[in-house]
Amino acid sequence: MTRKNRQWYPNVMMHITTRGNRKNNLFRDEEDYKVYLSTLEYVLEKTSDQFEIVSYVLMSNHVHLQVQTKEMHIKCFMGRLNNLYAKYFNNKYNYVGHLFQERYGSEIISDDKYVLEASRYIHLNPVRANMVKKPEEYKWSSYRMYISIVPEKTIETLRILSYFKSENRRLYYKEFVESAISPKG
């Protein structure tokens, strides 16, 4: 049976998800997270600036990426990223077979509201999974770069931050994201 082609066109922003096979962990230790991020950087470099990472979060058994494409199809990026990371993981843990549950999920982000909502959703994933109380406490997310706790690396924040007033835009973004955290009552 053939698979349905993904909806894609040039210069589109996408919300990408990928999950471990049978919901198993993709990351077992700190080295795994670091290798995934360095693999992400490597693939960005090798695809000649055809993709920008807008936001990301690496959860223990899945990944969310917000990606701006240019002229190259997203499958070129994700295929290479998932393949390289799976080879690393399978080699490290002496596994054979599929690391990822299925092909990655992709959704086109079609309007400005969804651009912001996808970023907020991604950055709040660890909070909603009860891994941390505040998104800046989670190390494997781009959120800390958005609010200037750590220097920017791998991501392009300008697209998201341009929606906020130029003075204090990082603070306004922080308030926007954290306004969706429901208080425990």
Domains in the chain (CATH in brackets) are 13-178 (3.30.70.1290)
Q: Which pLDDT tens digit goes with each residue over 46-101?
A: 998 899 999 999 999 999 999 999 999 999 999 999 999 999 999 999 999 899 99
Residues in the chain: 185
pLDDT of residue 1: 55
> Long-range CB contacts (< 8 A, 24+ apart) of 32-38?
32/89, 32/92, 33/58, 33/139, 33/140, 35/85, 35/88, 36/63, 36/85, 37/140, 37/154
Let me know: does 58 contact 102? Beta carbons within 8 Å. Answer: no
pLDDT of residue 185: 41
